[in-house]
Amino acid sequence: MNAYHNRDLGAGGEELAVEFLEGRNFRVIERNYRYGKSGEIDIIARRDTCIIFVEVKNRISDRFGGALYSISAKKKRNLKAAARSFIASRPEYDSPEYIFRFDLISIRDGGIDWIEDMFR
């Protein structure tokens, strides 16, 4: 597969994930939030006082262990750094009333798996 195919696959997965979250009363705050060279959060969404940082994985197979296994320790560090940057850039969310968590939405064959609070 080439880079264009992977990018299209990822963008299509993000669209499905946004529709999925909006169907569960989340409001998307930001998409593709970037921090530095390697920190990116695919979707940041809010429902009431819960803010989720969502990693989206659109897979065509589980050949390499599935979506959850693709979240390495380095990826977790990058996601956390990007989340801290986002919160610092949005003072309205920098409050103890908000609950933050990291979720994974995995898409395969049109089906969606939602792993809430995938790590702390």
Q: Decide if pLDDT at 6 tops 50.
A: no
pTM above 0.75, yes or no: yes
- Closest to 119 (Cα-Cα) out of 60, 55, 65, 64: 55
What is the 3-class SS of 16-52, one letter each residue? HHHHHHHCCCCEEEEEEEEECCCEEEEEEEEECCEEE
The CATH number of residue 17's host domain is 3.40.1350.10
Q: Decide if pLDDT at 113 tops 70.
A: yes
How far apart CA 73 and CA 45 sit, in angstroms, is 23
Note the residue count of the chain. Answer: 120
Q: Which domain holds residue 45?
A: 3-119
Residue 60 carries which DSSP code?
S
Q: What is the pLDDT of residue 117?
A: 96
pLDDT, one tens digit per residue, over 19-45 is: 999 999 999 999 999 998 878 999 999
- Structural domains counted in the chain: 1
